[in-house]
Structure 1
Amino acid sequence: MGEKLNISPGELRASAHAADTITKDLGRPLSKALEDIAAAADSLRHWSVGPQLKATGEGWGSALGKLRGRVGEHADGLRMVAAGHDVNEENVLNRFKGW
């Protein structure tokens, strides 16, 4: 099982970068989609579907915003784990230097 958990700090940093890219790339499309839903809900406000559309858009907006934030938090966590690997490697190197 141990060999399955062998992930290099470089791979962790690359994954963190990918998560950062996803977080950044989702920003504008999500904002645009939520603006469009809000505009559609406003134009249909006199119909029974208008308030329902507004509530749905707000619910999805909140959920997707939280998801986007969590992806960013995971990117930070991946960088922290990579830094921890670097510190451990340095400690082992220093401890066994000169043997």
Structure 2
Amino acid sequence: ALNRRIDVRVSAAGGDWSNGWAVQYLYPPGTPVSQKEPDINVAKNGDVVITEQSGITDILFLANGFIDVGAVSFELCGGNRLRTIQVSPLGKIMNDPNVGGSC
């Protein structure tokens, strides 16, 4: 969002992050098609289960770098290995491999 200077919405596919997610670039009206990135759909991959503890299914990354929902934490579990992805209210993404953690 910050690099493009536009808002970017990331939404859980079918309301469940484990199904994948969609990335939607929210360009202002009148932006020429030649200057737009296409929206992206990311399908589920393998047996990874993704959960978001607060029930958030939609995150808006604002053009100023912030996100609209405060801090968000995702747990990714696959192959009995646990990983936590945290997104701060400032939009910073942190990856915690949870060494020794299991699903």
> So what's the TM-score if we normalise by structure 1?
0.20
Structure with larger RCO (C-alpha < 8 A, sep 6+): 1
> So what's the TM-score if we normalise by structure 2?
0.20
Higher helix share: 1
